[in-house]
Structure 1
C-alpha cells in the first residue's frame, strides 16, 4: 500500500512538472508573438528633415514603439555611420527615422528617449567634418589630393569653458617697445639704423598712385627673435604687418596679413586667417638661419572660418581658436571653439 502511494505521488509530481513546462513554453511563445517589431522604411536620406544629434557619447536604446516592455530594441551609439531624423515628438519620446550605413545597412522607424538627443543647428560645427581641407603644403610639398587634415593632426570641438581656461597658456610676447625707431614728423617717416650701418626710412603715410588709396603705418616695436622692426599698415579696410630686418637693408621686407602668435618652447609661429574663397588658412612657421619666417605647414580648412584675434597656443603642438560655420553670415551670432592638434 505504501509503494502504491509513493508511485501515485511521483506520477502526480511528474504530470505537474510537465504541465508547468508546457505552460511556460506557451508564455514565451505568446511573448514572442506580441513583440512589436521595428517598421522598416525606404533608405531615402534626401527626403528627411530635422536631423537629431546625441547629447553625449553614451549608448542609447532605439525602441520599436513607446511600449518599452513589448518593443523590439536596438542599442545605438554616436557614430558617423548613422543618421537620425525627427518625425514626431511627445513629452518623453521622439519618433525617428533611423539610418545605418555600412555593409549591412538598416532603415527603421522607431522611438528614442527625448532626453538623449538635440535638434541639429544648421550653423553648428558638429554637423561638418572639421578635418576637411582643400589643399595643404608641408615643407614646400603641395598636396591637393589628400582632403583630410588627419595626416597632420586633428581638429575637434571643445567647450567655451575649456577655451577660456586654456587660452594664453602658450602665447609668448615676441614684439617689444624700442627706442631705436625714430619718428620724424616734419618729413613724415620712421627711421632706424641697421647693424651694417644703413639708414632705413619708412613713410608714415603713403598714397598709392594707381588706386589713390592712403596707407597709414604704425610702429609696433622690435622683435628680438626675428631681429626685425615690426609695423602695422592700415590701408582702407585691410591691415598688414611688415617686418624690416635690423641686420641689413638688403633683406626683403616680410609681410603678414595677421600678426602671428608665438610659442617660445617650440620657436614656432601660428596664423589662422579667413580665406576669401573657402574656409580659413592655417600656417605654422619656424625660423630660418636669417631669422626669417620659414613656413612648415599650410592647410586650407573648408568647413569653418575663425573669429580674428582668438588664436592661442596651449602647448608646443596645439592651438585653440574661436570659429563659426562657413554658411553663417554674422560671425558674432554663434561661435564655437576648436582645438587644433598637429605633429610636424
Structure 2
C-alpha cells in the first residue's frame, strides 16, 4: 500500500511539473511575439498636423538620444524606437498614468502627422522644466562699450552667473540698492490720457513718437518718478503685441522724451546706471547696463548680453545689492503654464567682474 501511494504521488509531481513547464513556455512565446512585432511610423494613427502652436496644451522635451513611440498608452502595445531630433516638435495633448499623447509631424511635414504615445519617464513637459543641467553661461551675442561680439558664446568674459534658492533670493532682496520709483501726485489720468498738473500748468503725456500705430491700439501706464534722474517713467505697450518698453520723460519745462529701457528699469544712483532685464523675442533674455549722461541727456551703452537658456519671469523683482551683484527671477527656456499648472520659477545671481568697467 505504501509503495502504491509513492507511485501516485510521483505521478502527480511529474504531471504538475510538466504543466508548469508548458505554461512557462507559452508565456515566453507570448512575450517574444510582442517584442518581435515590427512596426513603422506608417502603423500610427494619421491626424491633422498642428497649425497653431498656441492651441497646443503643452510641449514635451527630452535629453535622450532616442525615444519610444507607442501605438497606445500601454507598455505592452507595439512600439517603435525613434532617434531624437532637436528640430522636431513633440506636442503634448493628453496625460495618462504613464504616458503622454503627442502629435508628431514626420520630417517636420505638417501634412504627414501622427498620434503617438510616449513614456512620461522619457520626457519633461514644459511646465516641469527646471534649470538643472542648463548652461547658464551660454550667450548668443554681446556688446561691450559699443563693441559687438558675435563669436564669444560665454558670459565668463564678464563675470559669473549661478542659480540660487528662492530663500537666498528673498533674503538678498532686503539689501537692494537700486532706486525705488515713486508716484508723482501731480500726474493724473484724465480722459484716458496721463496729464501733469501743477500751479495751473497742464501737460499731456503722449506716446513716444517713434511707436508705430500699425501694431494696434497703444496704451501707456504710469509707473512712477525717478528721483535720481528727475524723470517720469511710463510703460508703453500695444493690446495686440506682446512687446512693451519703458519710456522716460522730462517734464521740467515741456514734455520731452529722453530715454527708454526694454524691461522694468533698475536704476543705480551710485553709478548713474539705468539697467534692465527682459525676455528676448528670438531666444533667451537680455541683460542691459547703460550710463545716463545728465548733461547730454543721452545713454552710454556699457554692456548688452543675450543669454540663451532662460527667460525673465518678473522684471520688476530684479535688483542690485552692490555695484557688481545682480539678482533676477527667471523661467527655464521653453517653460510655459499648462492647464492651470504653473511653470517652475528659478532664481539667478550675476556677479560682474570688479574691474569690468
TM-score band by shorter chain is 0.5 to 0.7
**Does the Cα contact within 8 Å between 1:171 and 1:261 map onto a contact in 2?**
no
Which residue, out of 269, 272, 278, partners 1:273? 278
Whole-angstrom distance in 2 between the partners of 1:321 and 1:199: 38
Structure 1 residue 321 and structure 2 residue 331: aligned?
no
Aligned to 2:141: 135
How many residues were matched structurally? 225
Deviations 1:47-103 (A, max 9, x none): 699xxxxxxxxxxxxxxxxxxxxxxxxxxxxxxxxxxxxxxxxxxxxxxxxxxxxxx
Deviation of the 1:326 alpha carbon: 1.1
Aligned to 1:169: 175
Structure 1 residue 202 and structure 2 residue 205: aligned?
yes
Deviation of the 1:243 alpha carbon: 1.0
Structure 1 residue 301 and structure 2 residue 304: aligned?
no
Aligned to 1:112: none
Whole-angstrom distance in 2 between the partners of 1:223 and 1:258: 15
Deviation of the 1:312 alpha carbon: 1.9
**Does the Cα contact within 8 Å between 2:262 and 2:276 map onto a contact in 1?**
no
Change (3 A) 1:300 1:159: same
**Does the Cα contact within 8 Å between 1:168 and 1:312 map onto a contact in 2?**
no
Aligned to 2:229: 226
Matches within 5 A, 1:184-195: 184-185=190-191, 189-192=193-196
**Does the Cα contact within 8 Å between 1:261 and 1:312 map onto a contact in 2?**
yes
What residue ranges of structure 2 are gaps of 5+ in the alignment?
1-62, 68-121
Whole-angstrom distance in 2 between the partners of 1:143 and 1:153: 16
SS of corresponding position for 1:172: coil
Which residue, out of 319, 332, 349, partners 1:339? 349
**Does the Cα contact within 8 Å between 2:258 and 2:298 map onto a contact in 1?**
no
Matches within 5 A, 1:76-95: none
SS of corresponding position for 1:201: strand
What residue ranges of structure 1 are gaps of 5+ in the alignment?
1-44, 50-118
Whole-angstrom distance in 1 between the partners of 2:246 and 2:279: 16
Whole-angstrom distance in 2 between the partners of 1:177 and 1:260: 15
**Does the Cα contact within 8 Å between 2:228 and 2:269 map onto a contact in 1?**
no
Deviations 1:255-296 (A, max 9, x none): 333221223433433311111111111011222133544321
Matches within 5 A, 1:78-157: 123-157=129-163
Off by >6 Å, runs of 4+ in structure 1: 119-122
Structure 2 length-normalised TM: 0.53
SS of corresponding position for 2:260: strand
Aligned to 2:55: none
Aligned to 1:57: none
Alignment root-mean-square deviation, CA: 3.7
Change (3 A) 1:181 1:296: same
Deviation of the 1:172 alpha carbon: 3.4
Deviation of the 1:193 alpha carbon: 8.5
Which structure is larger by alpha-carbon Rg, 1 or 2? 1
Deviations 1:149-189 (A, max 9, x none): 1010011121221112111422433432224445554xx54
